[in-house]
Amino acid sequence: MALIVQKFGGTSVGSIERIEQVAEKVKKHREAGDDLVVVLSAMSGETNRLIDLAKQITDQPVPRELDVIVSTGEQVTIALLTMALIKRGVPAVSYTGNQVRILTDSSHNKARILQIDDQKIRADLKEGRVVVVAGFQGVDEHGSITTLGRGGSDTTGVALAAALKADECQIYTDVDGVYTTDPRVVPQAQRLEKITFEEMLEMASLGSKVLQIRSVEFAGKYNVPLRVLHSFKEGPGTLITIDEEESMEQPIISGIAFNRDEAKLTIRGVPDTPGVAFKILGPISASNIEVDMIVQNVAHDNTTDFTFTVHRNEYEKAQNVLENTAREIGAREVIGDTKIAKVSIVGVGMRSHAGVASRMFEALAKESINIQMISTSEIKVSVVIEEKYLELAVRALHTAFELDAPARQGE
Amino acid sequence: MALIVQKFGGTSVGSIERIEQVAEKVKKHREAGDDLVVVLSAMSGETNRLIDLAKQITDQPVPRELDVIVSTGEQVTIALLTMALIKRGVPAVSYTGNQVRILTDSSHNKARILQIDDQKIRADLKEGRVVVVAGFQGVDEHGSITTLGRGGSDTTGVALAAALKADECQIYTDVDGVYTTDPRVVPQAQRLEKITFEEMLEMASLGSKVLQIRSVEFAGKYNVPLRVLHSFKEGPGTLITIDEEESMEQPIISGIAFNRDEAKLTIRGVPDTPGVAFKILGPISASNIEVDMIVQNVAHDNTTDFTFTVHRNEYEKAQNVLENTAREIGAREVIGDTKIAKVSIVGVGMRSHAGVASRMFEALAKESINIQMISTSEIKVSVVIEEKYLELAVRALHTAFELDAPARQGE
């Protein structure tokens, strides 16, 4: 008999009909003998509806009060699912974040979980009840309601699984697992049976939207086996876990991630003096703009070019800051480009295989795709290319790293 | 500087625009120097929407879980009003029933308040904050959310006022006070400046729907001065308080209440033996049917007739029970009438004035209205008449007891 935490997102509980379906699913699992803790999001659209209400009062809602409103979304779904379970003869009880006592810090709208009291839940499980917990919310030491920020329900699931030392945390979504890449771009993309936390983190941070980064970090930190499954289709999904055995068959690359969220800024003709990187990036970070990739070219005629990427939403803001800096330090010009894309290959296998990057560059060169920037980490290589080549690049890499092959299934 | 508890109902916070209006009103009061605790209901319609959601899952929602859902209605309005106040530069904070700690028993959907912790509220008032509290809800000793049942927000207001020893509990509604009778029936009806708790209780129990009976009982018990006011019109409203001075000018009758909610049942030809009343009413109360007026006629030929009224919704149920009883005790027949109305005159003044009842009967006789049943208490006389005469009777009594006279204003 295992202890499983199951998390269902907003679309999975988006209507009464779907809540009934989730209840059926939970009932079947329960009857199979597992102890179950179910974490729910608000009905899809509900959180936005609640935020809109607040925005009608003020553009800048007080964070504490916004949490009071927004947390009602999950409060409704947990009670509805609990009713649906009890109707089916499955003993169940609902808890808000406050009732469990999911203690968080006081950073309203983006709180972090500090501690979870597992006493009530353990007592209920012992009594044979399914425990239905509101995701995304907690309570601070003053008794104020907090929310964990968007996607926080995944984090609640993982944190509960860690606190309860659950055997698995299952995240039910609208996809049936993690794929080698986005199947809308590469039809031959395949579901992965397994992926490591590290890889999943890279995939998520690079734009694969199956799981929230924070929940994967959390799961990795506490070594909670995480499984991504489809809410309404049967199937094993993808297990995200530690890299237990470095099997021979392990592929070099697990997946290909990409995003169109970034924009590129270059400051040209910068006098090449020590500390120039700080002079350029200091004002950017002081403006709360996050920088992703950074490249500084070799100096030439005592001047250098400096390029970095930011989120597209912050492109104009960054450009303004950079133009001020250019005037101050006597740089020649600032140029920018929003029509870029980032493509990354990810895999723990590349640790033990040399030449992965050059194989990537070769594949892109074959398609005459020019690489504008490169950045590497232990388990990924990212390149920035012109946006229009994005799909072509992803397909070429998917083939080059033999991810198309059906032989990979059931590895 | 006074401490005032202000309660706004569902229509007063039924839209963002109205919440802004309430915020304006609260701000003005605050600027006048009073300490304010504001109690809110859910936006009108919201509680029903939430109950409907639950009913889509099951006809008989688990009471504990229904409270989890329904309590979100007020949770949204308290945060919205708090935001609207802060936007206006008025420091404010919201509390759910659980956060205040309004401790109730565990009778979900109809819980009773046991105790209120006033520490947080007092601390906030001291800091100059307006405290916005969710009405209608509390928490039981196990930490489960409870609701007080329909209209419970008034009770929350009064209970808070009692706990805080507030100078006044103001109930804002869609009428500008308590009237001598329903102005839709008698256009000359007048707003009362003052009315006693006892009178208000009788008015409420007799069908005047301005305030919930429980809140008036509560206010009377703890001697909390209660004021009924219009949410959006200026005016002094009606003060409900103890009967401090029996002034000379005090009217004999304060108001005329009426309702069409009852139906009449008569069991005829009952053998007149001791204990017959219990034999008849025992099975009725065992079926959880509440009986209002009861009349037993003098025995005649060793049989008697026995008449009582029940709520119209329970008429058929009561009729079935009564027909069984009739067979058992050998009564002649059961007859019933749903086309009745109850009209009552209410006033503490009648304690010291003889002949009030006869004046009432005279006024009705003048209009040829037949009285079917009579019941009296220390401060009221009720009669049951044919429903079609209801308006005529109320108008005749309003005039007979000089309630039409404009001289009563500013008494």
Q: Which of B18, B68, B99 to mutate: most A Cβ within 10 Å?
A: B68
B276-312 confidence digits (pLDDT tens) = 888 899 999 889 898 888 888 777 778 888 899 999 9
Q: With contact defined as beta carbons under 8 Å apart, do A74 and B64 qualify?
A: no
Q: pLDDT at residue B408 above 60? A: no
The residues, ordered by sequence, that sit 6+ positions from B377 with a Cβ below 8 Å of its Cβ are B202
* Residue A313 to chain B, least CA–CA distance (Å): 28
B191-240 confidence digits (pLDDT tens) = 999 999 989 988 877 766 778 888 888 899 999 999 999 998 999 999 99
Interface A:B, Cβ pairs < 8 A: 103
Q: How far is CA A277 from CA A318, A322, A337, in A?
A: 15, 12, 20
pLDDT attached to residue A407: 47
Task: Calculate mean pLDDT across residues B382-409.
Answer: 87
Q: Do B72 and A72 touch (CB under 8 A)?
A: yes
Residue with tokens 């008989």: B60
* A50 chain-B contacts, CB cut-off 8 A: 76
pLDDT by 10s per residue, chain A, length 411: 899 999 999 999 999 999 999 999 999 999 999 999 999 999 999 999 999 999 999 999 999 999 999 999 999 999 999 999 999 999 999 999 999 999 999 999 999 999 999 999 999 999 999 999 999 999 999 999 999 976 689 999 999 999 999 999 999 988 899 999 998 899 999 999 999 998 998 887 776 677 888 888 889 999 999 999 999 899 999 999 987 665 555 678 899 999 999 999 999 999 888 778 888 999 998 898 988 888 887 777 788 888 999 999 999 999 999 999 999 999 999 999 999 999 999 998 887 777 888 899 999 999 999 999 988 888 899 999 999 999 999 999 999 999 985 644 443
Distance CA A111, CA A327 (A): 39
B40-51 confidence digits (pLDDT tens) = 999 999 999 999
Residue with the bigger pLDDT between B270 and A151: it is B270
% residues pLDDT > 70 (chain B):
96
pLDDT attached to residue B407: 47
pLDDT attached to residue B409: 46
* A93 chain-B contacts, CB cut-off 8 A: 64
Residue with the bigger pLDDT between B152 and A386: it is A386
When CB atoms are compared, the residue of A65, A75, A143 closest to B99 is A143
Half-sphere exposure of B214 toward its Cβ, with a 13 Å CA cutoff? 16
* Residue A251 to chain B, least CA–CA distance (Å): 47
Q: Is A409 left (phi over 0), alpha (psi -120 to 50) or beta?
A: beta
Helix then strand count (H, E) for chain B reads 13, 20
Q: Is the ipTM of this complex over 0.90?
A: no
List B94's β-bridge partners, or say none.
B132
A341-400 confidence digits (pLDDT tens) = 999 999 988 877 778 888 999 999 999 999 999 888 888 999 999 999 999 999 999 999
pLDDT attached to residue B410: 44
Q: Do A61 and B83 touch (CB under 8 A)?
A: yes
Positive or negative torsion for Cα A193, A199, A202, A204: positive
pLDDT attached to residue B150: 62
DSSP label of A312? G
**Containing H/E element for A262?**
strand A262-271
* A143 chain-B contacts, CB cut-off 8 A: 99
**Containing H/E element for B317?**
helix B315-329
When CB atoms are compared, the residue of B80, B86, B145 closest to A69 is B80
Q: Do B69 and A80 touch (CB under 8 A)?
A: yes
pLDDT attached to residue B314: 93
Q: With contact defined as beta carbons under 8 Å apart, do A104 and A183 qualify?
A: no
When CB atoms are compared, the residue of B16, B19, B83 closest to A65 is B83
Q: Record the tokens describing residue A137, joined without a space.
A: 């919310």
Helix then strand count (H, E) for chain A reads 13, 20
Task: Calculate mean pLDDT across residues B4-24.
Answer: 96
Characterize A265-304 residue by residue with b for buried, 16 or more Cβ atoms within 10 angstroms of its Cβ, and e for exposed: bbbbbbebeeebeebbbebbeeeebebbbebeeeeeeebb
When CB atoms are compared, the residue of B53, B68, B75 closest to A68 is B75
Q: Do A86 and B80 touch (CB under 8 A)?
A: no
Half-sphere exposure of B93 toward its Cβ, with a 13 Å CA cutoff? 17
Q: Do A16 and B66 touch (CB under 8 A)?
A: no
When CB atoms are compared, the residue of B87, B144, B145 closest to A58 is B87
Q: pLDDT at residue B19 above 50? A: yes
Task: Calculate mean pLDDT across residues B328-356.
Answer: 90
pLDDT attached to residue B149: 73
The residues, ordered by sequence, that sit 6+ positions from B82 with a Cβ below 8 Å of its Cβ are A62, A65, A68, B92, B93, B94, B132
Task: Calculate mean pLDDT across residues B327-355.
Answer: 90
pLDDT attached to residue B301: 78
* B61 chain-A contacts, CB cut-off 8 A: 83
DSSP notation for B143-175: S-EEE--TTHHHHHHHHHHHHTT-SEEEEEESS
Measured between CA atoms, the residue of chain B closest to residue A73 is: B72
Characterize B208-232 residue by residue with b for buried, 16 or more Cβ atoms within 10 angstroms of its Cβ, and e for exposed: bebbbbbbbbbbbeeebbbbbbbbe
Q: Which of A21, A62, A120 to mutate: most B Cβ within 10 Å?
A: A62
Q: pLDDT at residue B103 above 80? A: yes
Distance CA A225, CA B201 (A): 62
